[in-house]
Amino acid sequence: MKKVKINLGWDKEKIHCELAQKLDFPSYYGKNLDALYDVLCDICEDTLIAVEGQSDYGTKLLAAVEDAAEENDRIKIEILQEDNMTINEAKEKLYALQAKLTAYNHATAVLYFDGATTAPKGTGANRAQTLAVLSGEIYKLSTGQETVQLLEYLEANREQLEEKENRMVYLMLKGIRQMQKIPFDKYVELQQLISEADDVWHRAKDESNFEMFCPYLEKMFSFYKQIAAWCAPDKDPYDYWLGEFEEGLSKAKCDRFFSTLRSRIVPLIAKIKEKQQVSDDSVNGYFSEEQQAQFAQYLMDVMRLDKNHCGIATTEHPFTTTLGTHSDVRITTKYHTDNLARSMYSVIHEGGHALYEMGVADEFAYTVLDGGVSMGIHESQSRFYENYIGRSRSFVEYIFPEMQKIFPQLEGYTAEDVYKAVNKAEPGLIRIFADELTYALHIMVRYELEKRVMAGEVEVKDLPEQWNKMYKEYLGVDVPNDKDGVLQDSHWSGGNIGYFPSYALGSAYGAQFLRKMKETVDVEKCIAEGNLAPINEWNREHIWQYGQLYAPSQILEKTLGESFDADVFCDYLEEKFSEIYNL
């Protein structure tokens, strides 16, 4: 193996001369970055280039060497740590690195948010191009030799790091080691596919045309199978992706969880079908977008969302995103003028996500610890506020006077009418409009279909047919079109394969969090008085403040002092709906 050591702080002439001499470059070598790239790509012998120091030109030269190393696997780069670098200097570099990555991710998040909210429909390709460039820079910065050397140096000196710094290093190295298994060009290609697929999905849903979206979804599933094979060749592809969204989750665990829900929820739904259905007339009618927008602002106030740091916008499929750090969070909703409850509960649901993000400790800003630890824990918070608080009788009774002011259409109805309307249990087509009881059945359909596609048992082109079949089997409803069927969710267009089970898990986690919270907080009293501060503070103390400092299992253990138990969730559902329907 040929070896050369250079200092990037040397002048241009000296660096090129050293490289040419030690690596036997041809006599016609031009001593410029393009020439350097060309000769390195042609090298046929294993070559190690060790670098130290820095300068503006040196940074450009290192980039050229790294580009050549991507093309020629015989080129290896070693970033030498300065002999006199202290652990404190290494820590400073760690925080600087994370701040820079945060800046890049901030830019990509703004582009995504714009595309999903106010951007003209024909601008998706333009954003995709920019996102591809930014993603490439993120990839290089995240997996570059200098970054790896720094993190491995810190990992080797873990006893000198604080708990949070060890967690940062662990998470970053885990991500890097996964990204390094994905070819650079494929990583960039995937980011571009996600941007284009999201744009096409919006148009396909508008036109109820799955065939338009199908080629993109086929590429998406194919990509995710390949990534799983690269990152975890000995693991089932779907198990890999389930674990990425919820650490430790697998098909076996999901099968057990959903089996428990099915065994208890299906009989409960059957009993309710035999009873007289409650009326939801109070939330159906005409409610203008202006009225609903005013109501959304009120709900944000009740939830104690800080509007100096949390904004709201409209979109096709509601979501929450963080721009940069937890000090800038955006929630979205969609106003349905024929139904009051749909936007109401999307605001509360997304508001729960926002509270979690905004509740992370300030010391984690601009680091990888900023944000929720997993999709399951995140959904536990969104569905906690949507269902355990928002659909409670006490909450509806508290907000009803304000509802009457904003919506004169409610004249003649009572808070109890609205409470029963928003808890009407009846199988339907749309997941995000599903009631609290039947919601898990929607998740089971998506889980089963993802599992079968990832296993090669179902082809993407057959998803509409399989979707419609399972909705008839699981929920007893006929799907009239793709828009209200297989195209209703945005998740697959964003590459979130394996995400859906976290919704049901989140609901179940929330039931245990609520039971634990009631040991020290008078939850009913707080809700009845419209004072959610003690509830928010409990969640902040036990969950939010930690960000990604602890794994999901650690959060559950620290907060609950017991293992996950799906029966707690089922007990809650049985008690609530038995009272509503007099079972």
Catalytic residues: 350
Helix, strand, coil percentages for the chain (3-state, nearest 5): 65, 5, 30
Could you give the CA distance from residue 308 to residue 324 in angstroms, rounded to a whole number? 15
Residue-wise over 387-409: b if at least 16 C-beta within 10 A, else e?
A: bbbbbbbbbbbbbbebbeebbeb
Beta bridge partners of 164: none
Tokens of 499: 């995400």
Helix axes 552-560, 501-517, angle to 10 degrees: 20
Q: What is the DSSP-derived secondary structure letter of residue 277? A: P
Q: What is the DSSP string of 23-44?
A: TT--TT---SHHHHHHHHHH--
Report whether 98 contacts 367 (CB < 8 A).
Answer: yes
Measured distance CA(330)–CA(415) in Å, rounded: 30
- Residue 333's DSSP bridge partners are 314
CB under 8 Å, gap of 24 or more: what pairs does 430-435 form?
A: 430/484, 430/488, 431/488, 431/489, 432/317, 432/318, 432/342, 432/346, 432/488, 433/339, 433/342
Give the H or E element holding residue 402: helix 393-406
Q: Based on the number of CB atoms within 10 Å of its own CB, is 50 exposed (0-12), middle (13-18) or buried (19 or more)?
A: middle
Q: Which residues pair with 314 in a beta bridge?
A: 333
CA separation for the pair 12, 14 (Å, rounded): 6
Is residue 581 within 8 Å of 425, Cβ to Cβ?
yes
Buried b (16+ CB within 10 A) or exposed e, 119-143: beeeebeebbeebbebbbebbeebb
First to last CA, the chain: 78
Rounding to the nearest 10 degrees, give the CA dihedral for residues 224, 230, 231, 232: 100
Question: Letter for the amino acid at 105?
Answer: N
The b-or-e profile of 428-455 (16+ CB within 10 A means b, else e) is ebebbbbbbbbbbbbbbbbbbbbbbbbe
Structure tokens at 116: 């999903």
**Counting Cβ atoms within 10 Å, is residue 385 exposed (0-12), middle (13-18) or buried (19+)?**
buried
For residue 47, the tally of other CB atoms under 10 A from its CB is 20
Q: Are 482 and 211 in contact (CB under 8 A)?
A: no
